[in-house]
Structure 1
């Protein structure tokens, strides 16, 4: 009987360690992340040529990475393929998918991260990197 409890405890610890360290914030909930996120999302729609990423600090020190494609890819949308951490870098990989309806001048995605370790690299599935935008917060 004791063995079962120990095994259950070990499984719970393993599952706790496997929790995702990122999430995608729905665009209709952008206000929950703070006014800076809304301002930047509006900025992206007014400056359709902005392609890249911008990092914001949100509640409890967590980070929000907004990745935009620019108007040249307004028929696409972004999804997260994965987030990998190492002691020297955090790699966020996104993939482009066809958008059912192009309703944004500059498509973007809101990716929440519990932390950023080392350098942040934002790339697509081909390994092409996005550059940080020159937006002044």
Structure 2
């Protein structure tokens, strides 16, 4: 998500710079760049002070994209050719990156807890997690139609918490799952979430917004 917000910031920065020609034609490059930088700076300050916290981070990253464009235009946008190259390279990069992500994106979904029960290994494991609450970390299973499931349990120390999946990304031989945990009086003795995926790479990384990294499932002794 943050990469996309940065790319959107780049586009917004280019759009703001182009709009300066619409409103004020007689303006040198430094002043046009200054307009972009001021808007980017105000946006960054707003994301930190007005929104703040985790919710403000995406807007902060977007602001950094706007500021990055102002720096690039300040350095290389003095000539007409330089501006054309910047616009062409940035737009082509965004299109190419978006196409790459689109064709390589991982389809994922949250398995409903009403579907946990069953006589297979998947169902047996989810039942075990509520009787042996020392188990924390993730396990992988093959489910219907050859799809995969990653089951993450937080362990008894996180009882009362819930888990929200923010994003799933894939790069090389790694599947990265980004989550957020929050306390909401969950009745589960061992908080659990099952994530269905169309494919899983050999290396799995699960990270929380607080910086915690979840390893393969273990038991507390």
TM-score scaled by structure 2?
A: 0.49
- Does structure 1 residue 94 correspond to structure 2 residue 186? no
Unaligned runs of 5+ in 2: 1-98
Higher Cα Rg: structure 1 or 2? 2
List aligned pairs for 1:35-50, cutoff 5 A: 35-50=120-135
Q: Which residue does 1:107 correspond to in 2?
A: 191
Q: State which drifts further: 116-125 or 67-76.
A: 116-125
Task: Work out the CA distance in 2 between the residues paired with 1:118 and 1:40.
Answer: 21
Q: Aligned partners of 1:46, 1:24: CA distance in 2, in Å?
A: 22
Which stretches in structure 1 are left out of the alignment for 5+ residues? 1-13
1:80 aligns with 2:174: no
Work out the number of aligned pairs and report it.
119
Match of 1:130 in 2: 214
Q: CA deviation at 1:31?
A: 3.9
Q: Write the deviation string for residues 4-52 of structure 1: whole angstroms up to 9, x where unpaired.
A: xxxxxxxxxx8x85976100011012247x6222211111111111110
2:155 match: 70
3-state SS in 2 of match to 1:51: strand
Cα 1:31/1:44, change in 2 over 3 Å: closer
For residues 116 and 20 of structure 1, the distance between their equivalents in structure 2, rounded to whole angstroms, comes to 9
Q: CA deviation at 1:81?
A: 1.0
Q: Larger % of strand: which?
A: 1
Pick aligned residue for 1:22 from 103, 108, 115: 108
RMSD: 2.3
